[in-house]
Structure 1
Amino acid sequence: MTGQSAPALTTPAFTTPALIDSHCHLVFRNFEHDLEDVIQRWRQAGVVSLLHACVEPAEIPAIRALADRIPELRYSVGVHPLDTEHWQDDTPAVLRAAAQADGRVVAIGELGLDSFRATNLQVQLDILRPQLDLAVELDLPVIIHCRDAAEPMLAELRARQSEGRCPRGVMHCWGGTPEEMEGFLELGLLISFSGTVTFAKAEATHACARQVPADRYLVETDCPFLAPVPRRGKRNEPSFVASVAERMAVLRGETLTEVAACSTANAVGLFRLPVTSIPQCV
């Protein structure tokens, strides 16, 4: 890749385990007035790196400006399946140029399929496919949004795998079944758990959290959405990823230190994050 390089980040000594929020959205108005406080809270909570997801190209300048301001922030470029109206003929070129211009772009997305809030599946596929192609071209992982659409997503990715064109990546904000999860794991994808894993009735997500291999999961907030228990219904923020990791530890019968070490190492590996001095997942 060309363009601005991403300097290495040295993890300070924290009394809490080092964590990575692998999916967040900060370019929202509800962060305008207290972002500095939000930044201090995630640093105090041991969050050493964040990945800011992009939902459409108009966001890219604002996300880039945040990365200029926040050294531990990396980001993706892409178009969300619920934002198909923002797709233009030149969008692939716009995304390619943005990714090649800045070494802090570490993924393509947030892309995917959503049959829960939309019925235009073919339109979604039409903008999904060139983004998957771009990820393969640039050797970047994808961040996949998949809601009530596991079957068509698996079909698309399996066809690509048979042709050697399936990118690496992560199923973000996982809410599927263990059987669906196995399908995506077989494709080499990672599974990311958000605040929904703390919800009492999210039994399928709990089962997935117990079953996912130690080297195949991430933790995220998807903030400002889906604040974890005990802050459910409030604005979510990156420091709350600690609550996600704590719930994962309970479900897996592990310590918070173990979950933090594995999820952090997995995020560093997938996104090639320039974070040093992190614990090893064993």
Structure 2
Amino acid sequence: MPLVDSHAHLDFYDNDRDEVMQRAFDAGVRTILAIGIGEGPETMHQALEMARADHGAERPKVFASVGIHPQEAAKASGEALAKLAELAADERCVAVGEIGLDYYHVENPLPAVQKEAFVAQMRIAAEVRKPILIHLRTSELATPQAKERFGAADAWADLLELVAEHWTPLGLGGIMHCFSGGVEEMRRSVEAGFYISFAGNVTYPKAVGIREAAVVAPAERVLVETDAPFLAPIPLRGQRNEPAFVAHTAAALAELRGISVEKLEELTTGNFERLFPAARV
């Protein structure tokens, strides 16, 4: 059964992208969702350009998203949002994201700025009737400086509140990308209409909460991803990640759930196709 990498930053590979895609194909990856955040709004079109290109029969199919990352929320100007809306309407763009909240880095915009950008992008996604890809990082494990800047703000609570008001009632769904919560956060995310996408960190033994959530997450809501070039899975942790390595994450997730790799591949590919009918492999 073919594999889907539900989240990879293909535009971050400048020198060997074709080789990266070839290795992905050889590893059984037949579809990649290229994440269109670029280095900020000025380059968020790059993933869509890759999705529009003909990569040939011996390369994975590429679909794209488009979004303004919460770290770039201060750049969510009227012009940037208009560009996003235009790109989001393209048939090769299947989602808006990654968008959300990030209270982890001290230099990130304050919560009010991030929330405004997040809500604006949910409205655009609603207009084009496409799912959203959620980025969420709390300040729980951040530096003391970040904790001081963001105070008692809780990214999970803030995000779920905004989603409940502006997104879940629409029934358009989405993905909790690189899921980093525990069982309770997983359950609340599923109730809010999201699929749960597990990345390389689910292979890390110390990621207890994530691994516990991976065991009990509903089968019909589970996905796998790389978040390449970041967060390589064991046994490749510390290396530059790439879509081919999603096979390691899939194997680890299958072991946690007590099923075969083949069943896990069938499950996650079917889930991806259900969420994104335009991207059927």
**TM-score strictly above 0.5:** yes
Where do 1:192-207 residues align within 5 Å? 192-207=197-212
Identify the match of residue 57 of structure 1 among 31, 41, 56. Answer: 41
Does structure 1 residue 25 correspond to structure 2 residue 30? no
Q: Under a length normalisation based on structure 1, what TM-score does the superposition of the two structures give?
A: 0.86
Q: How many Å separate the matches in 2 of 1:89 and 1:160?
A: 19
Measure how far apart 1:140 and its partner are: 0.1
The answer to whether the 8 Å contact 1:229/1:243 transfers is yes
Percent identity at matched positions? 38
C-alpha displacement at 1:275, in angstroms? 2.4
SS, match of residue 39 in structure 1:
helix
**1:261, CA displacement in angstroms?**
0.6
For residues 47 and 189 of structure 2, what CA distance do their matches in structure 1 show? Answer: 29
Unaligned stretches of 5+ residues in structure 2? 139-154
Structure 1 Cα separation of the partners of residues 81 and 167 of structure 2:
21
Which residue of the partner structure matches residue 133 of structure 2?
143
Aligned residues of 1:60 and 1:77 also touching (Cα < 8 A): yes
Q: In structure 2, do the counterparts of structure 1 residues 188 and 19 end up closer, same or farther at CA, with 3 Å as the change threshold?
A: same
TM-score, normalised on structure 2? Answer: 0.87
Q: Which residue of 1 aligns with 2:93?
A: 105
1:48 — aligned with what? 30
Tell me if structure 1 keeps the 8 A contact 2:36–2:46: no
2:254 is equivalent to residue 249 of structure 1: yes
- How many residue pairs match? The answer is 256
Q: Is the 8 A contact 2:101 2:114 kept in 1?
A: yes
Is 1:70 the counterpart of 2:64 in the alignment?
no
Is the 8 Å Cα contact of residues 20 and 267 (structure 1) preserved in structure 2? yes
> Is the CA contact 1:57–1:77 (under 8 Å) kept in the aligned structure 2?
no
- Structure holding more helix per residue: 2
Instruction: Tell me, yes or no, if the aligned pair for 1:19 and 1:49 is still in contact at 8 Å.
Output: yes
Report which stretch shifted further, 152-161 or 245-254: 152-161
1:127 Cα deviation after fit: 0.3
8 A contact 1:157–1:166 mirrored in 2: no
Q: Please report how far the alpha carbon of residue 61 of structure 1 lies from its aligned counterpart in structure 2 after TM superposition.
A: 3.7
Please name the residue that 1:14 is paired with.
none
Q: Once the two structures are superposed, what CA deviation does each residue of 1:202-246 show, in whole Å capped at 9, x if it has no partner?
A: 000100100101100110000000000011010000000000100
Unaligned 5+ runs, structure 1: 1-16, 277-282
